[in-house]
Amino acid sequence: MSEAALRQVHVIDHPLVQHKLTLMRRKDTSTKTFRQLIHELSALLAYEVTRDMPMQEVEVETPLEKTTGRVIDGKKTVLASILRAGNGFLDGMLEVLPSARVGHIGLYRDPQTLKPVEYYFKMPSGMEERDVIVLDPMLATGNSAVAAVDLLKRLTPRSIRFVCLVACPEGIANFHAHHPDVPIYTPAVDRGLNEHGYIVPGLGDAGDRIFGTK
């Protein structure tokens, strides 16, 4: 992995984030608890991923006098969820970013080529002026994340960031080979991928754990 790409991985080491992720990894954590935890974690991740968003000064009148304050600059942020597990991040992130717009990206893996193919893509208008936060809990092979950002870049948003719960070296290398300009925000970089494409130690299938489909 190049140095530039490594600099673009933000490992979120905050104790609250690490604590919640550890509880989510436990195999006997119930669907209800897993959902509650991803909800809480999402709000904390939103706080970190928006840390360097551009701001502008505005005038504000308090009950005592006029002063200046700062607000996030530009049009609304877009939360771009990679279906279906990315949806697990939405409620918690929207608590912190209540005016954010939400986009969805559906991809499936072609059984012949094993490449991701788009089946759904819906973003708000005016993407050129928006900052996008791409959501997918597991950065495993990185193929879906690469394809999702390929699609988003056609709309030339002002910026793109990628957020996950768990990444691995293979996924980071693949993602940054294609998109070295897109920073990754993750609480964990795990050891690697197993022969089924799961992150180890990981937390299992994030979609199944969020939606209780196993």
Residues with catalytic annotation? 109, 113, 205, 208
Contact status: 138 vs ligand URA (CB under 6 A): yes
Compute the least distance from the CB of residue 176 to ligand URA, in Å: 18
Contact status: 199 vs ligand URA (CB under 6 A): yes
Question: Which residues are part of a known binding site for uracil?
Answer: 199, 204-206
| Token representation of residue 26 | 């436990």
* 1 and 169 Cβ atoms separated by less than 8 Å: yes
φ, ψ dihedrals at 191, nearest 5°: -65, -45
Number of residues that bind ligand URA (CB under 6 A): 10
- Nearest by Cα to 49 from 152, 117, 131, 108: 131
CA 76 to chain centre: 16
Compute the least distance from the CB of residue 208 to ligand URA, in Å: 7
| Shorter beta-carbon distance to ligand URA: residue 48 or 205 | 205
Compute the least distance from the CB of residue 26 to ligand URA, in Å: 15
CA 146 to chain centre: 13
Question: Which residues are part of a known binding site?
Answer: 84, 109, 136-144, 199, 204-206
Compute the least distance from the CB of residue 133 to ligand URA, in Å: 19
- 36 burial (CB, 10 Å; 0-12 / 13-18 / 19+) is middle
Selected from 140, 145, 149, 182, the binder of ligand URA by CB under 6 A is 140
Selected from 40, 175, 202, 210, the binder of ligand URA by CB under 6 A is 202
What are the angstrom distances between the C-alpha of 45 and each of 72, 89, 151? 17, 9, 24
CB atoms within 10 A of CB 200: 12
Q: Which residues bind ligand URA (CB under 6 A)?
A: 85, 138, 140, 197-199, 202, 205-207
